[in-house]
């Protein structure tokens, strides 16, 4: 086992990794920008190293600074968290070239899944059902018009290098195609430096269902059921739950087995998420994330496993600590993402936390790097905490979420907490009847 792990991240996910390390008897090294000198992950880790100025490009994304921090501290492995360098295949290669271990999948798997066209080709070959669309990219407007004519409107144009909901445009008919195609390419170029796009059938009312998989890197893999992340704003998740309220045990077993077999075939190592749109009983693959996800705690809650501990074990060459047969679902879990944002426009609201109180009690978990007096810097994303509840069933989880939100105090900045209070008053949330468009439509009339 490693003696020391460096965490190439910040905020709640850096803390999450510090906690796993401490329980495993592994020393942790935090890295931070000058803006994060007082951050909780720096205070909680065993050691810390300043790696640069506030701008993420010059700190959390600076490969030389992170490698140097490893060498100075004597860390043997790097946990990337999510975001930043977590899905950067070149980084993984450099880490390995320095004789260090990357806690995550191999560079080739990150590369294949990081390009959505090769990801879809690979998944299709492995027997995973995909959204109908172009075979590969579409290079010209003529091409796009022809493919759209074949698969039928509406279609969605997506950036092959896309992420964070950017570079996606819908065209409802050939007239809309020209503009949609042009804007999608321009956005893709501006955000990802790569204007390659592809086409998919635009599904009208799907749910977002994703399957958590875990591979041992030697051809063994399991699935840990699904999460439903249909409540989204601008293609970004707002609330996640497990198990999915509309997925049957048979469907879970079928899609889970398909996913586990696919990643086993690849020889995939560590945690990964295979994302689907789900409509009328069918699953359509959209992308795979080759890292730990923000919403992983809901899966941990219902299966009683520690996914970060498992990532570290597998990276150290140990076998997984569970088999498929050991994994049974216990109850229901819901996570809400608490962002420092001002409603109704969700504009960032950085600043000083004048008072913070975290809820507690049975079935409540708070993953957050907040503390009294902490100043949220304006340079990074606005997620300041995740409230995760676990109950014997969905209605108990919802009641617990309501109770825990009532105990939470975050003063000094605006947050998305009022949004969740309002959502909990909605019958559709209680019945689980919503698709990926529900929240956007609700926001138009309710905030
Ligand atoms: P990103 O990598 O930017 O997050 P994804 O491919 O994961 O992009 O898609 C994000 C979200 O966009 C999905 O959860 C869904 O809400 C929407 N979306 C993507 N593809 C389609 C599609 N073919 N039809 C309808 N909605 C889609």
Query: pLDDT per residue over 266-300, tens digit each?
Result: 999 999 999 999 999 999 999 999 999 999 999 99
DSSP letters, 71-96, are: HHHT--EEE--SSTTTT-HHHHHHHH
Ligand 1 in contact with 131 (CB < 6 A)? yes
Nearest to 378 by CA among 36, 81, 40, 22: 36
Q: Would you tell me how many other CB atoms lie within 10 Å of the CB of residue 141?
A: 13
217-247 tens-digit pLDDT: 999 999 999 999 999 999 999 999 999 999 9
Report angle CA 340, 291, 376 to the nearest 5 degrees: 20
Q: Are 118 and 161 in contact (CB under 8 A)?
A: no
Ligand 1 in contact with 279 (CB < 6 A)? no
What CA–CA distance (Å, rounded) separates 144 from 327? 44
Regarding an ipTM greater than 0.95, the answer is yes
Give percent helix, percent strand, percent coil of the chain, each to the nearest 5: 35, 30, 35
Of all protein residues, whose CA lies closest to atom 21 belonging to ligand 1? Answer: 202
Question: Residue 271 forms beta bridges with which residues?
Answer: 214
**pLDDT bucket at 165, cuts 50 / 70 / 90:** confident
pTM listed for this prediction: 0.96
Residue 43 CA: distances (Å) to CA of 121, 385, 391, 410, 419: 44, 17, 32, 20, 31
129-164 tens-digit pLDDT: 999 999 999 999 999 999 999 999 999 999 999 888
Of all protein residues, whose CA lies closest to atom 15 belonging to ligand 1? Answer: 235
Of all protein residues, whose CA lies closest to atom 23 belonging to ligand 1? Answer: 202
Residue 133 alpha carbon, nearest atom of ligand 1? 23
Q: What is the pLDDT of residue 383?
A: 98
Q: Is the pLDDT of residue 342 over 90?
A: yes
4-50 tens-digit pLDDT: 999 999 999 999 999 999 999 999 999 999 999 999 999 999 999 99
Q: Are 107 and 87 in contact (CB under 8 A)?
A: no
- Residue tagged active-site, from 10, 16, 207, 291: 291
Residue 159 alpha carbon, nearest atom of ligand 1? 3
What CA–CA distance (Å, rounded) separates 263 from 201? 25
Q: Are 27 and 70 in contact (CB under 8 A)?
A: no
Question: Residue 226 forms beta bridges with which residues?
Answer: 211
Q: What is the pLDDT of residue 50?
A: 98
Ligand 1 mean position, distance from CA 286 (Å): 7
Best residue among 120, 166, 286, 287 to mutate for probing ligand 1's pocket (most ligand atoms within 8 Å of CB) is: 286
Best residue among 229, 231, 277 to mutate for probing ligand 1's pocket (most ligand atoms within 8 Å of CB) is: 277
Ligand 1 in contact with 233 (CB < 6 A)? no
Q: Is 291 marked active-site?
A: yes
What CA–CA distance (Å, rounded) separates 272 from 214? 6
Ligand 1 in contact with 308 (CB < 6 A)? no
Ligand 1 in contact with 287 (CB < 6 A)? yes
Ligand 1 in contact with 208 (CB < 6 A)? yes
Ligand 1 in contact with 420 (CB < 6 A)? no
Place of tokens 């992983």: 296
């Amino acid at each position: 086992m490693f003696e020391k792990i460096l965490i190439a991240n910040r905020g709640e996910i850096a803390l999450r990794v510090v906690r796993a390390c401490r329980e495993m008897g592994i020393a942790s090294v935090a890295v931070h920008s000058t803006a994060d000198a007082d951050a909780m992950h720096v205070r909680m880790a065993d050691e810390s190293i300043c790696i640069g100025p506030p701008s993420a490009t010059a700190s959390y994304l600076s490969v030389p600074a992170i490698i140097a921090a490893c060498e100075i501290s004597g860390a043997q492995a790097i946990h990337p968290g999510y975001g930043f360098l977590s899905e950067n295949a070149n980084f993984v290669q450099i880490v390995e070239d320095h004789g260090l271990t990357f806690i995550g999948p191999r560079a080739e798997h990150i590369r294949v899944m990081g390009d959505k066209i090769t990801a879809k080709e690979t998944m299709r070959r492995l027997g995973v059902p995909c959204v109908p669309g172009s075979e590969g990219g579409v290079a010209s407007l003529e091409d796009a018009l022809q493919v759209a004519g074949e698969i039928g409107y509406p279609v969605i144009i997506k950036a092959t290098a896309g992420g964070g909901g950017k570079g996606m445009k819908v065209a409802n008919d050939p007239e809309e195609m020209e503009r949609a195609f042009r804007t999608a390419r321009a956005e893709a170029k501006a955000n990802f430096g790569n204007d390659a796009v592809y086409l998919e059938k635009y599904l009208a009312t799907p749910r977002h269902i994703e399957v958590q998989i875990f591979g041992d890197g030697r051809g063994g893999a399991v699935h840990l059921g699904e999460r439903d992340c249909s409540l989204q704003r601008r293609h970004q998740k707002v609330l996640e739950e497990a198990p999915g309220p509309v997925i049957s045990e048979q469907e879970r077993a079928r899609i889970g087995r398909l996913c586990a077999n696919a990643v086993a075939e690849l020889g995939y190592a560590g945690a990964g998420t295979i994302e689907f749109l789900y409509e009328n009983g069918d699953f359509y693959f959209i992308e795979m994330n080759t890292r730990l996800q923000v919403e992983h705690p809901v899966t941990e809650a219902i299966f009683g496993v520690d996914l970060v501990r498992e990532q570290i074990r597998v990276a150290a060459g140990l076998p997984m600590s569970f088999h498929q047969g050991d994994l049974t679902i216990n109850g229901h879990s819901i996570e809400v993402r608490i962002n420092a944002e001002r409603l109704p426009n969700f504009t960032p609201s950085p600043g000083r936390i004048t008072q913070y109180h975290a809820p507690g009690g049975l079935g409540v978990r708070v993953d957050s790097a907040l503390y009294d007096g902490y100043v949220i810097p304006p340079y990074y994303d606005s997620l300041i905490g995740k409230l995760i509840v676990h109950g014997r069933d969905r209605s108990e989880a919802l009641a617990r979420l309501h109770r825990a939100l009532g105990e939470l105090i975050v003063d000094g900045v605006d947050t998305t907490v009022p949004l969740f209070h309002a959502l909990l008053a909605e019958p559709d949330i209680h019945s689980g009847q919503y698709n990926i468009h529900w929240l956007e439509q609700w926001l138009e009339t309710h905030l």
